[in-house]
Amino acid sequence: MTNPLLDTASLPRFDDISPDDVIPALEELISSNRNKLEALLLNEDPDFDSVVAPLEAMEHELARVWSPVTHLQGVLGSRGWREAYNKGLPLLTEYGTELSQDTRLQQAYSEVANGLGGDAATPQRSTVAQALRDFKLSGVDLPPAEKARFKEIMQELAATQARFEQNVQDASDAWELRIEDKDKLGGLPRQAVERARRDAADSEVDGWLLKLDYPTYDAVMRFADNRELRESLYRAWVTRASDQGENTEWDNSGNIRRIVALREEAARLVGFDNYAEYSLATKMAATTEEVLAFLRELAGRSRSAGENELEELRALAGERIEPWDVAYWLEKLKQQKYAISDEELRQYFQARRVVAGLFDLASKLYGLCIEAVPNVARWHDTVVYYRVSRSDGTPIGGFYADLYARTGKRAGAWVADLVNRMQINGRAVLPEGFLVCNFPPPDADGRSLLGHDDVVTLFHEFGHMLHHLLTRVDYPSIAGINGVPWDAVELPSQFMENFAWHYDVLKQCSAHCESGDALPREMFERLEASRHAGAALGMLRQLEFALFDFRLHSEFDPNGEQSVLELLDDVRAEMALLDPPAYNRLPHSFGHIFAGGYAAGYYSYKWAEVLAADAFAAFEEAGVFDAETAGRFLREILEVGGSRDFMDAYVAFRGRKPSLEPLLRQHGIS
């Protein structure tokens, strides 16, 4: 019987695939690819069609097989899928490093590049140029012993990063707080209290059970009147997977230092002074000095506003403000100053209605038709698959939406590719993806009510999905998000967030859970007036994360006397307005930089936010739904993938390079 993971002719057979299929599928496909590669390298006169295109197709097929495995181990609380992922990761890492260190393949690509000639960017030239760059970054030119060491580093690094992420998930899933006195839950939204009651019943205990998923944590931090309860959740959140957690079995302290040491060693092997410089080889920013100056300029422009915001919270609270108080008193400030509350807004934003309004926006901007497809195999009964097409019926691709939090599912929100667009040698494959969030699960009536922040998050992730789906590039390695500089990847997502602050959009996304009425204009105006509340504090917090990440990867010595936490203290002394408690262990659950793709790149969020705010200003100038502006953004940004220099693409859209001022205006910072 054919291994169901190897059946890539259609969508994954989630009803049929199992963890036992993973290793046999990978071994068979990697072996086949190795044989195909040997045959390709026999070509004495390599060109794009004879070498590059077939290799693109081979890598596309391997990614298509591995993607469901990566996805399922992150969204299901399944020991089997995790073990299969952990066993498969070394196979993929070994094969990938082997490929990128193959001097014969590098030489073939060099000959192809010489044959293409010319200076103007084309998809073929960009594909080859990026591959040649990646050969160098993978140590293809190293002596045999150093090349072997680089390969060992990649293997250990992949395993350690996976262990880091899994420790965070396990520590989160293991924590719970039983509440017997309902008065301790005062201030919490009804939906959060009802969920805590259901969780207690499911665990066969009396009272209410609070778990450490993000919707619960966020609800407590914003709304719980009980300060001790807020601190309890805060402490649990900031000590996940650390030596300060309730269970130190999942302590990431050793993993953090090892990850940083491995990255540093790899960077030095291939000729860089530190990992930050290595990371910038694939980004828009040119030097470490440029990134540090960018972060510090934003901080300098934001600090005074942040101090004013904090003083306003202190005056309202009438007491010392601690980190577990900030979100709570910000919510109180919005209610007092702007007569708006997140709980009031939540009644208007039913998840299904927000999704429908978001799809309506995609139709207005880009002429897309997005329809749910029934009877598609899924991994959970709340998952929905959507087919995407153009207004004339031309198919574009599709995606799965997994929107609700549950035990065993990784926290956060993200988009991942299932299939990249490919059109090679007459074979056309449309892109498919995964859109994942962690919104409050539907209640007994089947309703999930979202806060406005949740709405913004959904718009953000959908921006990533549009970037993935709308590409017109035919080569997978530079199609969609692939090949785009990491500090520009967040542009389409952060750009989409701006529409969640526009009344005509929110009106389409809203329907009161009782009356069905759309969000009233006067309530939107109060929401809009509150947009700047806490914006500078939020800016400084993100800059603290970014500066810590960048200094960790540019100047920290993993073998030196300074600890990671001492470096963080230095960063906080420069950036933070509030001193966190001594037990705070931010790095131990900072998956973006220790398990994701943001190592020495967390600054990308702010870098791309500058691009996004400046890009949205073009829509504000022309009209938010202006067809010509939307068409230009589609052509110059969303469709081009990594096929051209990104700054050139941005200038083609905007007519100039980006300005910092629109971002500062959005945050109310003068």
Q: Is 359 helix (H, G, I), strand (E, B) or coil?
A: helix
C-beta separation of 487 from 285 below 8 A = yes
The answer for residues whose C-beta is within 8 angstroms of residue 612's C-beta and 6 or more apart is: 490, 491, 492, 493, 494, 495, 497, 498
Question: Which run of H or E residues covers position 422?
Answer: strand 422-424
Q: How far is CA 211 from CA 95, 183, 445, 619, in A?
A: 40, 18, 22, 41
Instruction: Classify 435 as helix, strand or coil.
Output: strand
**Whether the Cβ atoms of residue 644 and residue 594 lie closer than 8 Å to each other:** no
Give the CA dihedral 389, 393, 395, 399, nearest 10 degrees: 30
Amino acid, res. 265: E
SS (H, E, C) 645-663: CHHHHHHHHHCCCCCCHHH
* Cα distance between residue 558 and residue 115, in whole Å: 44
Q: Is residue 461 among the annotated active site residues?
A: yes
Instruction: For residue 520, give every residue at least 6 positions away whose Cβ sits within 8 Å of its Cβ, in sequence order, or none.
Output: none
Q: Are 435 and 458 in contact (CB under 8 A)?
A: no
> How do beta strands 384-390 and 422-424 pair?
unpaired
Alpha-carbon distance 274 to 266, whole Å? 9
CA distance 489 to 610: 12
- Tokens linked to 223: 């709304």
Q: How far apart are CA 436 and CA 434, in angstroms?
A: 6
Collapsed DSSP state (helix, strand, coil) of residue 427: strand
Tokens linked to 195: 């969920």
What is the C-alpha to C-alpha distance for residues 555 and 560, in angstroms, rounded to an integer?
Answer: 11
Name the one residue in this structure whose structure tokens are 């004495």: 44
Q: Which of 61, 309, 461, 609 is catalytic?
A: 461
Catalytic residues: 461
